[in-house]
Amino acid sequence: MRTKLIAGNWKMHGSKSFIESLMKGITEQLNAAMESDVLVCPPTIYIPLVKNLIGDTAIAVGAQDLSEQEQGAYTGEISGDMLKDNGCQYVIVGHSERRSLYGETDILVAHKTGKAIEHGLTPILCVGETLEQRENGTTMQVVEQQLDAVIDTLGIDAFAKIVIAYEPVWAIGTGVTASPEQAQEVHSAIRAHLREKNAQVAESIKILYGGSMKAANAEELLAQPDIDGGLIGGASLKADEFIAICNIAG
């Protein structure tokens, strides 16, 4: 049985006062008896602050990106070792915004995934298609290409240490959500693709849905057999909304 994971991706939002208020709302309302895992991914500069605000809750902390480099003259970059040193347990890699806005290629994402694993971080590997690709009927061709870059670089066994997030790009920040059936279809196909290489890895890997999940649609999405949680964007910036999703996950 796969434990569900509810992960908040705060993106480039927040200030000290906002984060203190948000974390107060989350920690005070979080059900200590819930079985699902909970994760927040603040902007890198606020990771130490969030670590201090977690208190005695089981909330994990992750980063939104890392460098594919180990260390050196890479101005502005943050290494996996630095993230680990500051208490991170997870890191998002290959988010669609990194791919589309900053030109991250499938191979670069694969190297970042490997660097995360190297430093004992659990990478949340984001895959997904644009609206044009969905309308062209190439969704799974795109998603499999993104997965295969990691398989070819790191091997299928590496996926035992990876979480996948399927994020239909057309449903991120648009208010549009893939229907539970659309999401389940892709999640199932992702698992089937991995199963061709390693059945055990395919059955155990968490596959999160990352396209505008909120309290209003979380129950239907999380009820799907191959949806193991959510990578939450906007809704993770509202304590009540985020907690509502956590409670639905159970």
Name the residues annotated as catalytic: 95, 167
> Do 210 and 230 contact (CB within 8 A), yes or no?
yes
Instruction: Round to whole Å and give the CA distance between 51 and 198.
Output: 36
Nearest to 209 by CA among 196, 192, 195, 190: 190
Instruction: Name the burial class of residue 83, with classes exposed (0-12), middle (13-18) and buried (19+) by CB atoms within 10 angstroms of its CB.
Output: buried
Both tokens of residue 125?
A: 């590997």
Amino acid at 205: I
Q: What is the DSSP letter of 136?
A: T
Instruction: Round to whole Å and give the CA distance between 74 and 205.
Output: 33
What's the CA angle centered on 168, arms 162 and 170, to 5 degrees? 150
